[in-house]
Homo-oligomer: A and B are copies of this chain.
Amino acid sequence: MFRSHTCGELRLHHVGTEVTLAGWVQTVRKFGSITFVDLRDRYGITQLLFGEELNQQLDENPLGREFVLQVTGKVTERSNKNPNLPTGDVEITVSSFKVLNKSAVPPFTIQDDTDGGDDLRMKYRFLDLRRNAVKKNLELRYAVNRATRDYLHQQGFMDIETPFLIKSTPEGARDFVVPSRMNPGQFYALPQSPQTFKQLLMVSGYDRYYQIVKCFRDEDLRADRQPEFTQIDCEMAFVEQEDILNMFEGLIKFIFKHVKDIDYTEAVERMSWEAAMWNYGNDKPDIRFGMKVANLKFPSHTFPSKENNSNLIDSADFKVFDEAETVVAIAVPGCAEYSRKQTDELTEWVKRPQIGMKGLVFIKYNADGSLKSSVDKFYSEERLKAIADFAEAKPGDLILILAGAEERTRKAISELRLEMGKRLGLRKEDEFKLLWVLDFPLFEYDEEGNRWVARHHPFTSPKPSDIETMIGNNPVIENAAEYLKHPYANIKANAYDMVLNGNEIGGGSIRIYQRELQEKMFAALGMDKEEQQHKFGFLLGAFEYGAPPHGGIAFGFDRLCSILGGSESIRDFIAFPKNNSGRDVMLDAPSTIDDKQLDELNIKLDLK
């Protein structure tokens, strides 16, 4: 061992002990004939004192930043203590030292506030990882990993490894594929998730399975998506939805406790998908704050159970509202005194292409009870008051109204709500609010193919009460224009998402376990019997041999860690992430391979 203690270990009670430390030179400060060095390792920083007798050696061979140093010396009490450092009461009076390895001058400083840009830090990721800020993230990630395993172990789950070289069954996302040298012309696929394997394990009787496992999706990368990502993947047999919800809110609460020391004792709120869309315009609402959406106008098919409220805005000759499919509002607390400049800026904000609105209507509900709006021409103060009341605004609030096509407008009001919540400091980094979103639609309509697509995935079960509707009807959509009238349009899924502070951190479902129902599902997705057999014959086969009722969930591990760490970027929580082109710039991968390799794999390049 090159050390007797770590650089984070020594305290006052060690004073007088002879110790050996090894680590990296963080700083060198020379004061006349003595030199102070801060020595850093994974555990902390310890101050070293080089006295006169060693200074000549240092002069001849100066220490540089990031040199690897081994020192031996006596622990001494510091006259000038540093209360910000756990080791700040002591220093090492060095008696001998050895440079274990030199370092070139690093391309950026190894500090929390580094001077390195993103590209440089990714190229030299091995140096970036030395920074305390990054190290804390990886430590948090490991703590979440450990807590997850501890909880699931206590609950009787078994970690069972599923294969990485599997069969390509693209459904939704693209597979990464791996040419097989031993089976010319054939390919493995890398798993997008262990979905079918964990279901097979349920058929096999391993009734509580989990894995923390890499998954792969060959998608065009958006910011903060990675081609390889990690899932906490779980499945249970002989359970109903309620059992899964309880088990896995238990997991997240356990993680809160063991990683963040937060007692999350309250029950996790539950909300139907419809309520989430109605109240927040979003299926993963941030419920740390209110500011719910007021639905002034909407197409009746979107919320069949809700009454329309367009009378509040109708008959005013205001074309923008009259011609809009959807008109929605939020009441922003305490912002009635926004200046013209501020409302103009908000208008510009909603007109950005990412939001895509044509404009913004606002009503100021002044503290004195009077109302003033950008549409005074069309609406009397009385009508404005009615709208404000409908939006549950209080004096002092600013009501923001968006109008346009349903889907885009609902998304826009959701974004605007989140933005206003952020500006008002309502989205507190240290406040955590969990939510289950339930009762999703089972299908979405695919216009291009005039067919159904599975909203979650093709293995998700309908609600028990909808099974008959599904079995008893032909999934084919005869009349594309009236797809909404097809009985499948209203089938609800036995699916659930867990949302944390407005982020979907996990999702799952009770699965189909009957061959007939699974075949019906595949047929709804446009797969004929032959394709079903080719792609999923093993699963349909398994369902014939005593498949138990089962269900599960998968959590996005990278995302979960980043939220717990208070960051928006998952890359900060991955040791060796890829950039937005799917490249590892440190390795310079992907890269070309030898002709011999291609030849052995029976493939050749076909560049356009």
Please give the residue numbers on chain A whose beta carbons come within 8 Å of chain B beta carbons, in ascending order: 1-3, 22-24, 40-42, 66-68, 100-104, 106, 124-127, 129-130, 135, 138-139, 141-142, 145-146, 149, 153, 158-168, 170, 174-190, 197, 200-201, 203-207, 214, 216, 218, 220-221, 227-228, 230, 238-240, 243, 513-514, 537-538, 541-549, 574-576, 578, 581-584, 586-594, 597-608
Contact call A592/B185, Cβ cutoff below 8 A: yes
Contact call A239/B167, Cβ cutoff below 8 A: no
Please report the C-alpha to C-alpha distance between residue A181 and residue B220 in the assembled complex, in whole angstroms: 9
Please report the C-alpha to C-alpha distance between residue A78 and residue B40 in the assembled complex, in whole angstroms: 68
Please report the C-alpha to C-alpha distance between residue A203 and residue B499 in the assembled complex, in whole angstroms: 37
A233 shortest CB reach to chain B, Å: 13
A582 shortest CB reach to chain B, Å: 5
Contact call A183/B129, Cβ cutoff below 8 A: no
With a cutoff of 8 Å between Cβ atoms, the chain B residues found around residue A514 in the complex are 101
A199 shortest CB reach to chain B, Å: 9
With a cutoff of 8 Å between Cβ atoms, the chain B residues found around residue A230 in the complex are 161
Contact call B174/A177, Cβ cutoff below 8 A: no
Contact call B588/A177, Cβ cutoff below 8 A: no
Contact call A186/B597, Cβ cutoff below 8 A: no
Q: Name the 6 nearest CB pairs between A and B, nearest first.
A: A103-B546, A129-B204, A167-B589, A186-B590, A2-B238, A66-B546
Contact call A538/B165, Cβ cutoff below 8 A: no
One of B41, B103, B188, B602 near A207 (C-beta < 8 A): B41
Contact call B604/A606, Cβ cutoff below 8 A: yes
A2-B239, A164-B214, A605-B603 known; A179 and B181 CB under 8 Å? no
A4 shortest CB reach to chain B, Å: 11
With a cutoff of 8 Å between Cβ atoms, the chain B residues found around residue A544 in the complex are 103-104
Please report the C-alpha to C-alpha distance between residue A375 and residue B99 in the assembled complex, in whole angstroms: 65
One of B146, B168, B602 near A597 (C-beta < 8 A): B168
Q: Which residue of B lies closest to A603 (CB)?
A: B603
A185 shortest CB reach to chain B, Å: 5
Contact call B549/A103, Cβ cutoff below 8 A: no
With a cutoff of 8 Å between Cβ atoms, the chain B residues found around residue A575 in the complex are 160-162, 197, 201
Q: Which residue of B lies closest to A576 (CB)?
A: B163
Contact call A206/B42, Cβ cutoff below 8 A: yes
Contact call B548/A207, Cβ cutoff below 8 A: no
Please report the C-alpha to C-alpha distance between residue A22 and residue B239 in the assembled complex, in whole angstroms: 10
Please report the C-alpha to C-alpha distance between residue A87 and residue B287 in the assembled complex, in whole angstroms: 49
A130-B205, A205-B135 known; A538 and B587 CB under 8 Å? yes
A-B contacts, 6 of them at CB < 8 A, read: A2-B240, A129-B200, A177-B593, A182-B221, A182-B582, A184-B607
Please report the C-alpha to C-alpha distance between residue A183 and residue B584 in the assembled complex, in whole angstroms: 12
With a cutoff of 8 Å between Cβ atoms, the chain B residues found around residue A602 in the complex are 605-608
Please report the C-alpha to C-alpha distance between residue A578 and residue B100 in the assembled complex, in whole angstroms: 46
Contact call B178/A190, Cβ cutoff below 8 A: yes
Contact call B182/A138, Cβ cutoff below 8 A: no
Please report the C-alpha to C-alpha distance between residue A66 and residue B545 in the assembled complex, in whole angstroms: 7
A146-B153, A575-B162 known; A178 and B176 CB under 8 Å? yes
With a cutoff of 8 Å between Cβ atoms, the chain B residues found around residue A160 in the complex are 138, 141-142, 575
A397 shortest CB reach to chain B, Å: 46
Please report the C-alpha to C-alpha distance between residue A239 and residue B70 in the assembled complex, in whole angstroms: 12
With a cutoff of 8 Å between Cβ atoms, the chain B residues found around residue A243 in the complex are 1
With a cutoff of 8 Å between Cβ atoms, the chain B residues found around residue A181 in the complex are 174, 218
A205 shortest CB reach to chain B, Å: 5
With a cutoff of 8 Å between Cβ atoms, the chain B residues found around residue A66 in the complex are 545-546
Contact call A590/B238, Cβ cutoff below 8 A: no
Q: Which residue of B lies closest to A186 (CB)?
A: B590
Contact call A168/B591, Cβ cutoff below 8 A: yes
With a cutoff of 8 Å between Cβ atoms, the chain B residues found around residue A216 in the complex are 164-165
